[in-house]
Amino acid sequence: MSSETVSSTNYIQHHLTNWTYGQFPDGHWGFAHSAADAKSMGFMAIHVDTMLWSVLTGLVFLFFFRKAAKSATAGIPSGLQNFVEMIFEFIDTSVRGSFTAKNDLVAPLALTVFAWIFLMNLMDLVPVDWIPHFAGWVGATFFGADPHHVYMKVVPSTDPNATIGMAFSVFFLVLYYSFKNKGIGGFTAELTLMPFQSSNKVVQALFIPINFLLEFVSLIAKPISLALRLFGNMYAGEMIFILIAIMFSAGWALGTLGGFLQLGWAIFHILIITLQAFIFMTLTIVYLDMAHSEH
C-alpha cells in the first residue's frame, strides 16, 4: 500500500511539473531534472512547455481565422466561414453590450482573448498521459534522457505564470487608457475622491487616504482575480483528470469506472473550458470600459 501511495504521488508530481529551463545554483544553465531542480532555479526560470503550447495554440487560432478570412465569400459560406462568423457575431454582441465607448482595439482584443484562452483550455481534454509519454519517449530515444525526468504540461492555463502574464497585459491596457482618457489628475482623483465624499474640504482631505486604500485594493484586485480565477479552475480540472487516470492502474473494475468518470468529467469540463474563456474576455471588456468612463 505504501509503494502504491508513493507511486501515485510521483505520478501526480510528474504531471504537475513544468518542463523548466533556467540557471542552477552552481551557475550553469540547463533543463531541470526534477521538481527540486526547477524550484532551485528561482524566478527567472522559463517554463518551456507553457511557452511552447501557448504559442502553438495561438498559431492555430491565427491559421484558421486567417484561412477563413482569405476564403470568405458572399455566396454560400463554407463550414469554417460559418463557424468564424458565428464567433465574430458572439464577440460583437458581447462588446456592444459591455463597452460603451469607442475603441477599435477592444473587439479584436476580445476575440483574441476568448479564442486563445479557449484553445489553451481545450488542451485539457487531451488524455493526460498521451503527450507526456510521447515526450518521455522522444527524450529517451533521441537524447538519452531518463523518461521520468522529461516533463511536459500541455495546458498553459494551469500555469500561473501564463494566466498572470495575460492578466497583467490587460491591466497595463487598463492603466494606459485610464491615463489617456482621464489624464493624471482625473485618474488620481478617481483613486482618492471616491467612494467617500464631503463638501467640507477638511473632511474630504481626511477621506483621501481611506479612499485611496479602498480604490487601490480594488484596482490591484482586477489582474489578480483575472489570473487566479482562470488558473484555479483549470488547475482543479487538470488535477481531477490526473486522479481519475490513477484508477486505470488499479485493476479492471476501477479502470472501467475510471473510463466512465473520465468521459463524464470531459463532457462537463467542456462547459468549464468555454466559461472560463468567456469570463476572462467579459471582464477584459468591462475593465477597459471602466478605463474609458469618467465617474
CA atoms within 13 A on the CB side of 269: 22
Specify the residue for cell string 495575460.
Answer: 166
The answer to whether 252 and 77 are in contact (CB under 8 A) is no
Residue 295: the pLDDT is 62
Which of 6-20, 152-166, 175-189 shows the lowest mean pLDDT across its residues?
A: 6-20
**Torsions phi, psi for 30 (to 5 deg):** 175, -175
What is the distance between the alpha carbons of residues 116 and 53, in angstroms, rounded to a whole number?
A: 11
Specify the residue for cell string 521538481.
Answer: 35
Kindly list the strands in the beta sheet with 29-31, ordered across the sheet, starting from the edge strand earlier in the chain: 29-31, 20-23, 46-47
What is the distance between the alpha carbons of residues 241 and 125, in angstroms, rounded to a whole number?
A: 9
Looking at the predicted structure, is the pLDDT value of residue 5 above 60? no
Looking at the predicted structure, is the pLDDT value of residue 33 above 80? yes
* CB neighbours of residue 62 within 10 Å: 13
Residue 6: the pLDDT is 47
Q: Cβ contacts of residue 82 below 8 Å, gap of 6+? A: none
Residue 3: the pLDDT is 39
Residue 21: the pLDDT is 95
> Domain spans of the chain?
2-292
3 state SS of 47: strand
195-241 residue pLDDT tens: 888 888 888 888 889 989 999 999 999 999 999 999 999 999 999 99
Residue 2: the pLDDT is 37
Give the residue numbers marked as catalytic: 225, 229, 233
What is the distance between the alpha carbons of residues 267 and 125, in angstroms, rounded to a whole number?
A: 9
Q: What is the pTM of this model?
A: 0.91
Looking at the predicted structure, is the pLDDT value of residue 172 above 90? yes
| Helix (H) / strand (E) containing 288 | helix 252-292
Among 276, 287, 292, which Cα is nearest to 124's? 276
